[in-house]
Chain A
Amino acid sequence: MSEHEAPRYVLIWVVLLAMTLAEVGFAFMPLPKFWLATGLIVMAFYKAYLVAMYYMHLKWEPKRLWVMAAVPLPLAVIMVLAIITEF
């Protein structure tokens, strides 16, 4: 497994950097706020997904580990979305 990991890491690094630059560029485009926010959030979460899968090794860990890791996410979403309806 270690044999093909090293190039993987560098590749992921390049992708992360490219996406960061893309995000910065995208943020200043003349689009409606909603689409800007949605696009940026999608990009950010994809970057986070890459870090989790590759650098934190989830891709190679037992599936049950990333099922466990996913547990807080629905809670976070529920909390924020439910409370936003207040305002």
Chain B
Amino acid sequence: MSTTTVAEPHAGHEEHHDLGFVRTYLFSTDHKMIARQFLFVSLFFLLVGGILAGMVRWQLGFPGQPMPFGNLLPDTMAPGGIILPEFYNSLVTMHATFMVFFALMPMLAGVFGNLLIPLQIGADDMAFPKLNMLSFWITPVAGAIMLASFFVEGGAAGAGWTSYAPLSTSGEWTGVYMGQILWLVSLIIVGFSSITGAVNYVSTVINMRAPGMTWFRIPLATWSLFITAWLLLLAVPILTGGLILLLFDQTIGTAFFRTAGSGEPLLWQHIFWFFGHPEVYILILPAMGMVSEVIACRSRKPIFGYHAMVLALAAIAFLGWIVWGHHMFQSGMNPMLGMTFMATTMVIAVPSAIKTFNWLGTLWKGDIHFDTPLLHGVSFVSLFIIGGLSGIFMAVAPVDIYFHDTYFIVAHLHYVLVGGSLFGLFCGITFWYPKMFGRMMHEGLGKIHWVLSFIFYNLTFFPMHNLGVQGMMRRIYDPNQYEFLQALQPMNTFISINMFIFASVQAIFVFNFLWSLKKGKEAGNNPWKSNTLEWTVPSPPPHGNFPQMPIVYRGPYEYSHPDAEEDYWPQDMPPVSDTGGQSVGAPTPETVPPESVLGD
């Protein structure tokens, strides 16, 4: 075979690239710039999703009252500032859609996958930089289509982010025609961003690791992103297929899911959730990986049970494929199938629990530095525990039959997605901001943002457990139409007020982010004294990342190692110095000379 059979090294980028504004900032193939692009786009869509949530909470907290600035909305949405029921359906649908597909996924996978993977494995860029650029640009294009759907006749999609058939197959009941079609088109397109990104991430991690970077020396952040990439690769195309069939039902008159002509609405649910369950692990695994890095680094301790953490990530990913029916216990599905899903769902709690205990074990007796990233990381753990516990309740089918489609589910999902993923993102952003932008975020503002967010987040979402237990259903425009729910109005108003405060508090984060870009303390290479490879290069790293490909001698969690001079031991620091300087002890099996580090 004349083609090379090993992953080819990439020449260092010694020559100065002067590409001009467009090629540097708009159409860049540099993974770090692409990460920044993803960051700005996804923060924008996080704002969009937040505004939509604010409107939902206005209606629930102050039903039938004109919304502040509501008069700016057209009469088809909110005449006199009072939200219409049809518009409310679009609000709940689009809030979730924007948050999941255009905020969380791009932030977790797009930002941190791009930023961290090449740097943490010692590569100079992704395997396919041009494909990476395409992968980014698909997202704002699809997002623009999704935004545009608000302004077509009939308004934006209103069948829930899960778009169940037969409600979604026809505008007859929602009043939405073009909006639903645009929703489908937008998601079909944005799927390609995930798939192409996943191709890049998987290929890069497999083939472009620096010498000595064996599989079990890869940092957990990269491990989690690698496994997430596999989930994206295999789950998103399933959704794409289903979306296409639903699009056919809406446009060319097929009846895959429409009940007329023997379509099967239940098939839609199965296809959607076969994607949908791996999707929720896509939304949490990167956050878990990042939190692992931060907790280990800021406790100055190795992660407790590194191998178990990796295996737990893999176990979650495997098991995540066989639990999807737990979203469908109430659908009328085959009860035997339902019982199988109940069993598998209970099993999947185990690897998550292992990870939780290991985070606690890492913190235990650590030399903990209580800075903003660590605070967010610990919040992630506690809030994820709450979300996970409510998940266990619902894993049990008889319990879920009561809780399904109530606010108990809304509480659960917001604990794992906001308490989990969003706080995990705050953890990641505050920790890696210095690497991305060369400056530290303001620590005082960071702590204020954290404590206020934590308090008002919990005040917003914890009471929803109670609302659900008392029978308040989700996606409902006017709970007061039911006498048994009228007593819950004060609680709904309480939640709404706290949500508005929680949302307002995010302005502190935005201010801190923007202010620190120019005024933050200069970061240097390694402000957190971390071991992983991204901290061995300048902040931000130059094009090409490393002057030459690093050699890795040890795992990423050698904090407070007895043989090391300092309380951290970077992965690329050679084991013995010939200048007699920082001697770090005799070579151990882990730190053999470079020729034999090419294990696997």
Contacts and interface: CB of A to CB of B under 8 A. Distances in A.
Interface of A: 1, 60, 71-72, 75, 78-79, 82-83, 85-87
B234 A71 contact: yes
**Centre residue among A78, A79, A83, A87 by max chain B CB count within 10 A:** A83
B274 A79 contact: yes
Contacts of A72: 234
Given A1-B1, A79-B274, A85 B322 contact: no
B334 A78 contact: no
A83 B340 CA distance: 12
Contact of B321 (A1, A60, A78): A78
Q: Is the interface of A mostly helix, strand, loop or mixed?
A: helix
Given A71-B234, A75-B321, A78-B321, A85 B270 contact: no
B334 A85 contact: yes
Contacts of B325: 82
Interface of B: 1, 230, 234, 238, 264, 266-267, 270, 274, 321-322, 325, 333-334, 336-337, 340
A87 B264 CA distance: 10
Given A1-B1, A75-B321, A78-B321, A86 B266 contact: yes
Given A1-B1, A72-B234, A75-B234, A86 B321 contact: no
A86 B1 contact: no
Contacts of B1: 1, 60
Contacts of B266: 86
A76 B458 CA distance: 40
Nearest to A72: B234
Contact of A82 (B234, B238, B264, B337): B337
Nearest to A1: B1
A78 B322 contact: yes
Given A1-B1, A79-B274, A85 B234 contact: no
A83 B322 contact: no
A85 B336 contact: yes
Contact of A83 (B230, B234, B270): B270
A67 B325 CA distance: 28
Nearest to A83: B270
A83 B336 contact: no
Nearest to A62: B5
B417 to A, nearest CB: 24
A86 B270 contact: yes
Contacts of B238: 79
A86 B234 contact: no
A82 B266 CA distance: 13
Contacts of B334: 85-86
Contacts of A87: 264
Nearest to A57: B1
A37 to B, nearest CB: 20
Contacts of A86: 266, 270, 333-334, 337
Given A82-B325, A85-B336, A86-B337, 4 more contacts: A60-B1, A75-B321, A79-B270, A82-B340
B274 A85 contact: no
A87 B238 CA distance: 20
Contacts of B234: 71-72, 75
Contacts of B264: 87
19 contacts: A1-B1, A60-B1, A71-B230, A71-B234, A72-B234, A75-B321, A78-B321, A79-B238, A79-B274, A82-B270, A82-B325, A82-B337, A83-B267, A83-B270, A85-B334, A86-B266, A86-B270, A86-B333, A86-B334
Contacts of B333: 86
Contacts of A78: 321-322
B337 A85 contact: yes
Nearest to B600: A64
Contacts of B274: 79
A83 B266 CA distance: 9
